[in-house]
Amino acid sequence: MERAFISHLRERLPTNENVVVGPGDDAAVLKLFDDANIVVTVDALTDGVDFALSEVDASRIGHKALAVNFSDLAAMAARPVAAFVSLVLPKFEGDRIARQLYDGILPLADRFGVAIAGGDTNSWDGPLAIAITALGETTPRGPLTRGGARPGDALLVTGSLGGSILGKHLDFTPRVEEAIFLHQRHALTAGIDISDGLSRDLHHLCHESGCGAMLRLDSIPIADAARTLAANETSSKTAVEHALSDGEDFELLFAAPEAVAETILREQPLDVPISLIGQFTNRNEVIALAADGTQTTLPNTGWEHRI
């Protein structure tokens, strides 16, 4: 439902010349002066939908609520500058929950030199809801959008994927420094942070760039957590299926011209590994290429085992 609603809404939203990048990317880019762009993103998380307050310390929820915003700024290769925190607290134990939320928010803001520049706090008879708006600034190279990948570009990803439900989805470090470093030094063509899962977010990149992709299944960096899930659970998902569909990895999925990708892969300039997992194509679909040469169309809804 969300996807259809957003498509419908995007066709109707008013805009103006100061909106350089509007809805449809990881964050919006506003042109305020001739030489500066400001990048804006907002995320809302609700108890019972995005987390379970009864099962998780609220400080981890606070960390996540801010980190998801930073991850969206990272996806635009923007440096976070300020954040605004809106809390709707349950009446019961609201003060304690607020304190714990900030125990997670403040260290992360501090780590990235980000100001908590404002916000709002209310309470009600319902569950906890937290909405954070974050502002960032682009580097001199400008924003990294979802729309710049071209056929022939390499498809790269940071870190490893899958199984984030075992902890990474709450405790991840957004790839801010990594994205800015790479985009400043190299001409990346497109980028997105993996929140919906590799398969869906690759479709987002392809859709906005107007091209397709060939994804090499045996090149996907699989997280240990994905292997743990595949080994333990009763469902029939394999580790690579977890890596394709789990989501909330908050790694950076990006495109670069082949020569640039070769340099990045040779230098491996980050603390976290960078993997080449495929190539953008001029076909209008995402193809999963297995090690034995089998090609399968990857559905937009995420990975479904078909072989």
Among 21, 25, 26, 128, binds Mg ion (CB under 5 A): 26
The verdict on 72 binding Mg ion (CB under 5 A) reads: yes
Binding region for Mg ion (CB under 5 A) out of 190-198, 216-224, 254-262, 282-290: 190-198
Number of chain positions touching Mg ion (CB under 5 A): 4
Task: Give me the 194-213 binding string for Mg ion, x by CB under 5 A, dash otherwise.
Answer: -x------------------
The verdict on 249 binding Mg ion (CB under 5 A) reads: no
Q: How far is CA 121 from CA 31, 86, 90, 149, in A?
A: 30, 6, 11, 41
Closest approach, Cβ 200 to Mg ion, in A, equals: 11
The verdict on 248 binding Mg ion (CB under 5 A) reads: no
Closest approach, Cβ 27 to Mg ion, in A, equals: 8
Query: What own/partner pairs with CB < 8 Å and gap ≥ 24 does 63-66 have?
Result: 63/104, 63/105, 63/107, 63/108, 63/170, 63/171, 64/104, 64/169, 64/170, 64/171, 64/172, 65/101, 65/104, 65/105, 65/130, 65/132, 66/104, 66/105, 66/108, 66/109, 66/132, 66/134
Binding region for Mg ion (CB under 5 A) out of 49-57, 82-90, 185-193, 204-212: 185-193
CB-closest chain residue to Mg ion: 26
The verdict on 193 binding Mg ion (CB under 5 A) reads: yes
What residue ranges bind Mg ion (CB under 5 A)? 26, 72, 193, 195
